[in-house]
């Protein structure tokens, strides 16, 4: 569930007073005010079901700078679930992912800094404290062909008028915090005009995302790494290779890397980092595929009268003490054209959120935090150590990792679950109380068991999905023990902690309980890391061996042909639909191939071929974390809860729909 091997894996509305605010396509010349009801020729109010004014906020997921990006998502989500939309977008992008270009067009830069102001669709706006929102208004119903509309928009300060063909929508910018009465006289032929009116009031919803790697979107880089068809050499610990020659093994290299690929030709990490994956935030492995981002985006898409201001803060590796309260080590350097930007630490999320809320309230006293999406706790019980215990099978590596504390034990996690986690949770609850009106506005989305194959049966284990490293093998007995601990102890206790139940002491249980979401767990019971299907991508079926023989063990030929299937690794597509919604170690390497910055100094690798890099490159990109499909399923569970907390009427009915058969051959 959290990348092995360390704990730091597992984080409204006013109209503009100027006619110039009318968007292109609306009439900018002043039109006479329409006649009142006491005047001859007064407009006749329309009856119900005839003509009505409808409106929507444009580009209402405010993280996106460009409306085209929001529109793509809104269109994809129309009438279907987030999961079905993600699957369709994945196929549409041929598995390369919809976020790969969007990530460079946001109001938060790749270092996590909010752009203030942010230029959205050509207009500078304050991101945290918007003063207006772009709105499109149009007529619906029995509008006569060729009718002319005389519009009036009145927010109580300066009524504005425009006249144009009724078939054309009209755009304006609605001021924050004030309702606008929109009225229209519809004239067609010699008949008296018909009049319709409505009140326009945009509600801007401020949402924060917090927590650990499940919250951040770990495992799903916004732009996956490009793989080379050639091999790259790693050493094995103590020179002991496992079926791969004397202490060396080859795996696919990074495309574009021109340095030494053989173990005898060391190169600098800086050269290697130029070709890394791209993340919404590299230091925290934040991703637009995160269930938190997808939930906030789905709310915006489903509710046309709101705008969503979303602040992502979650960070991979976060615990409650180190990550939410205190600073934590960054996961990876931020790649730039001139090199790599490597922050020394990542600020605590609660402090970051408190600063953002204070800055917003300073400019707009009525501005408040509406919703917090939260997932945290697995790192507090060293879940990554349990993952390490399951998948590291070689005696050499097990010995090294056990001595360094990387491999954990269920008994140790059980103790932390009984002692440290309740204390940490209580402290976190008290801190969040100062940021939200009531704790029900904290939507805690729990974890899913990542190791269930079908109908809740644990995965059988084995090397399938883990043969990216020769020492990996998911031991069936250890796997069953950890899966049982997760299902029967860890997940139930998290529910008690969030809901102040099961003996958990809260000052006021009725007011301190968080909104708890676990509906997605039933879906994950059929989509663990070992799930396979005939509809999986052709590359996966041909090249990822269920028995763990995916890679060429011949040290002589593996440098030029590392895959036993004969196909190039560049054919892998991280965002095609799959039966498994959990990234295995092979997926982690093929999607992100992370050389983490935040390793303790004592085990920092000597060079890029070091044995440590061989291990961590296979797991620090999101092994045992939800895929984009998994995050979409989590968002489908979280959206109804968020709607209830925000008192939003349920959005349009959504349905799941079957995917078309996969197409295309491995190329």
Which tens digits make up the pLDDT trace of 620-642?
A: 999 999 999 999 999 999 999 99
Place of tokens 């006249």: 163
Is residue 234 a contact partner of residue 30, using CB atoms and an 8 Å limit?
no
As a whole number, the mean pLDDT across the chain is 88
Distance CA 526, CA 516 (A): 22
In the structure encoding, which two tokens stand for residue 632, read together? Answer: 């979409």
pLDDT band for 21, please (50, 70, 90 cuts): very low
Residue 104 confidence (pLDDT): 95
Candidates 212, 206, 216, 208; CA nearest to 353 is 208
In the structure encoding, which two tokens stand for residue 630, read together? Answer: 């998994």
Distance CA 15, CA 155 (A): 6
Distance CA 312, CA 215 (A): 9
Is residue 310 a contact partner of residue 207, using CB atoms and an 8 Å limit?
yes
Residue 268 confidence (pLDDT): 76
More reliable by pLDDT, 240 or 288: 288
Is residue 350 a contact partner of residue 436, using CB atoms and an 8 Å limit?
no
pLDDT band for 382, please (50, 70, 90 cuts): very high
Is residue 530 a contact partner of residue 587, using CB atoms and an 8 Å limit?
no
**Residue 11 above 60 pLDDT?**
no
In the structure encoding, which two tokens stand for residue 125, read together? Answer: 């706006």
In the structure encoding, which two tokens stand for residue 640, read together? Answer: 């109804």
Give percent above pLDDT 90 in the chain: 74
Candidates 194, 218, 201; CA nearest to 293 is 218
Residue 295 confidence (pLDDT): 98
Give percent above pLDDT 70 in the chain: 88
**Residue 560 above 50 pLDDT?**
yes
The four Cα atoms 100, 105, 109, 115 give a dihedral, to 10 degrees, of: -170
The four Cα atoms 276, 277, 281, 282 give a dihedral, to 10 degrees, of: -40
Candidates 652, 629, 657, 625; CA nearest to 639 is 652
Average pLDDT over residues 103-128: 95
Residue 305 confidence (pLDDT): 97
281 three-state secondary structure: strand
Candidates 616, 620, 612, 559; CA nearest to 237 is 612
Candidates 545, 542, 547, 520; CA nearest to 639 is 520
In the structure encoding, which two tokens stand for residue 233, read together? Answer: 């050499």
In this structure, the strands spanning 132-141 and 51-57 are antiparallel
Distance CA 483, CA 520 (A): 17
Place of tokens 């002319």: 148
Neighbours of 344 (CB within 10 A): 10
pLDDT band for 157, please (50, 70, 90 cuts): confident
Distance CA 548, CA 526 (A): 21
Average pLDDT over residues 102-125: 95
Tell me which H or E stretch contains 138.
strand 132-141
**Residue 456 above 70 pLDDT?**
yes
Distance CA 245, CA 239 (A): 10
71 three-state secondary structure: helix
Is residue 272 a contact partner of residue 259, using CB atoms and an 8 Å limit?
yes
3-state secondary structure 78-89: CCECHHHHHHHH
In the structure encoding, which two tokens stand for residue 69, read together? Answer: 């990006």
Average pLDDT over residues 354-365: 94
3-state secondary structure 383-435: HHHHHHHHHECCHHHHHHHHHCCCCCCHHHHHHHHHCHHHHHHHHHHHHHHCC
Average pLDDT over residues 295-321: 98
Q: Which of 244-253, 343-352, 513-522, 651-660 has the highest mean pLDDT?
A: 513-522
The four Cα atoms 396, 402, 405, 411 give a dihedral, to 10 degrees, of: 150
Is residue 288 a contact partner of residue 102, using CB atoms and an 8 Å limit?
yes
Place of tokens 């679930």: 81
**Residue 538 above 90 pLDDT?**
yes
Is residue 182 a contact partner of residue 174, using CB atoms and an 8 Å limit?
no
Which tens digits make up the pLDDT trace of 485-534?
A: 999 999 999 999 999 999 998 989 989 999 999 999 999 999 999 999 99
Residue 271 confidence (pLDDT): 81
Say which CATH class 206-645 falls into.
alpha beta
In this structure, the strands spanning 14-15 and 170-175 are antiparallel
pLDDT band for 338, please (50, 70, 90 cuts): low
Distance CA 191, CA 194 (A): 9
**Residue 657 above 80 pLDDT?**
no
pLDDT band for 17, please (50, 70, 90 cuts): very low
Distance CA 190, CA 187 (A): 8
Average pLDDT over residues 476-484: 93
Residue 246 confidence (pLDDT): 58
Instruction: At 487, give phi and psi (nearest 5°).
Output: -70, -40
Which tens digits make up the pLDDT trace of 185-214?
A: 999 987 888 999 999 999 999 999 999 999
Q: Which of 130-144, 257-271, 473-487 has the least mean pLDDT?
A: 257-271
More reliable by pLDDT, 172 or 406: 172
120 CB-near residues (< 8 Å, 6+ apart) = 59, 62, 64, 65, 66, 107
Omega of the bond leading into 5 within 30 degrees of 0 (cis): yes
In the structure encoding, which two tokens stand for residue 190, read together? Answer: 């010699």
**Residue 165 above 70 pLDDT?**
yes
Which tens digits make up the pLDDT trace of 82-93?
A: 999 999 999 999
Distance CA 112, CA 156 (A): 39
Distance CA 494, CA 378 (A): 9
630 CB-near residues (< 8 Å, 6+ apart) = 448, 524, 527, 581, 582
In the structure encoding, which two tokens stand for residue 285, read together? Answer: 């492995």
């Amino acid at each position: 569930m959290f990348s092995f091997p360390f704990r730091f894996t597992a984080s409204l509305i006013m109209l503009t007073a100027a006619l110039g605010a009318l968007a292109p396509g609306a009439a900018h010349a002043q039109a006479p005010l329409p006649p009142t009801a006491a005047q001859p020729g007064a407009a006749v109010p329309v009856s119900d079901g005839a003509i009505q004014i409808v409106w929507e906020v444009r580009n209402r997921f405010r993280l996106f700078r460009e409306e085209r990006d929001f529109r793509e998502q809104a269109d994809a989500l129309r009438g279907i679930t987030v999961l079905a939309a993600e699957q369709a977008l994945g196929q549409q992008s041929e598995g390369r992912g919809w976020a790969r270009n969007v990530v460079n067009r946001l109001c938060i830069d790749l270092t996590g800094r909010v752009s203030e102001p942010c230029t959205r669709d050509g207009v500078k706006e304050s991101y945290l404290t918007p003063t207006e929102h772009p709105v499109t208004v149009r007529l619906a119903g029995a509008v006569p062909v060729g009718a002319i509309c005389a519009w009036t928009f009145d927010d109580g300060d300066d009524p504005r008028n425009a006249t144009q063909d009724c078939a054309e929508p009209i755009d304006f910018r609605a001021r924050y915090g004030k309702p606008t009465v929109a009225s229209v006289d519809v004239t067609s032929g010699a008949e008296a005009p018909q009049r319709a009116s409505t009140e326009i009031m945009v509600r801007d919803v401020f949402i924060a995302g917090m927590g650990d790697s499940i919250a951040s979107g770990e495992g799903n880089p916004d732009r996956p790494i490009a793989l080379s068809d050639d091999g790259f050499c790693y050493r094995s610990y103590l020179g002991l290779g496992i079926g791969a020659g004397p202490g060396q093994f080859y795996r696919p290299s990074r495309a574009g890397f021109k340095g030494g690929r053989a173990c005898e030709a060391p190169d600098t990490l800086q050269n290697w980092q130029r070709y890394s994956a791209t993340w919404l935030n590299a230091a925290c492995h934040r991703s637009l595929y995160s269930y938190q981002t997808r939930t906030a985006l789905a709310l915006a898409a489903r509710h046309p009268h709101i705008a969503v201001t979303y602040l992502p803060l979650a960070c991979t590796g976060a615990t409650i003490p180190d990550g939410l309260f205190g600073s934590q080590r960054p996961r990876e350097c931020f790649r730039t054209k001139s090199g790599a930007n490597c922050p020394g630490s990542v600020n605590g999320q609660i402090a970051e959120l408190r600063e953002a809320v204070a800055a917003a309230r300073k400019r707009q006293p009525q501005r408040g935090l509406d919703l917090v999406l939260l997932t945290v706790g697995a790192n507090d019980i060293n879940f990554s150590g349990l993952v390490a215990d399951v998948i590291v099978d070689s005696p050499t590596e097990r010995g090294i990792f056990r001595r360094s504390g990387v491999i954990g034990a269920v008994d140790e996690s059980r103790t932390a679950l009984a002692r440290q986690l309740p204390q940490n949770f209580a402290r976190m609850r008290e801190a969040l109380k100062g940021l939200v009106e009531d704790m029900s506005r904290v939507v805690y989305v729990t974890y899913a068991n990542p190791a269930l194959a079908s109908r809740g049966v644990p995965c059988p284990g084995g090397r399938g999905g883990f043969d990216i490293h020769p020492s990996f093998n998911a031991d069936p007995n250890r796997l069953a023990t950890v899966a049982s601990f997760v299902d029967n102890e860890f997940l139930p206790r998290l529910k008690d902690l969030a809901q102040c139940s099961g003996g958990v002491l809260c000052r006021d249980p009725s007011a301190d309980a968080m909104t708890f979401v676990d509906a997605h767990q039933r879906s994950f019971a059929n989509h663990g890391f070992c799930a396979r299907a005939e509809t999986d991508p052709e590359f996966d079926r041909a090249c990822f061996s269920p028995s763990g023989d995916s890679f060429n063990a011949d040290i002589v030929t593996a440098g030029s042909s590392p895959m036993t299937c004969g196909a190039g690794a560049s054919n892998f597509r991280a965002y095609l639909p799959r039966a498994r919604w959990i990234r295995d170690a092979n997926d982690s390497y093929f999607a992100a191939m992370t050389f983490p910055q935040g390793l303790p100094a004592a085990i920092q690798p000597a060079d890029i071929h070091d044995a440590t890099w061989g291990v961590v490159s296979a797991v620090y990109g999101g092994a045992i974390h939800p895929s984009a499909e998994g995050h979409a399923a989590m968002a489908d569970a979280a959206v109804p809860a968020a709607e209830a907390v925000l008192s939003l009427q349920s959005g349009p009915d959504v349905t799941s729909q079957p995917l078309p058969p996969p197409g295309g051959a491995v190329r």
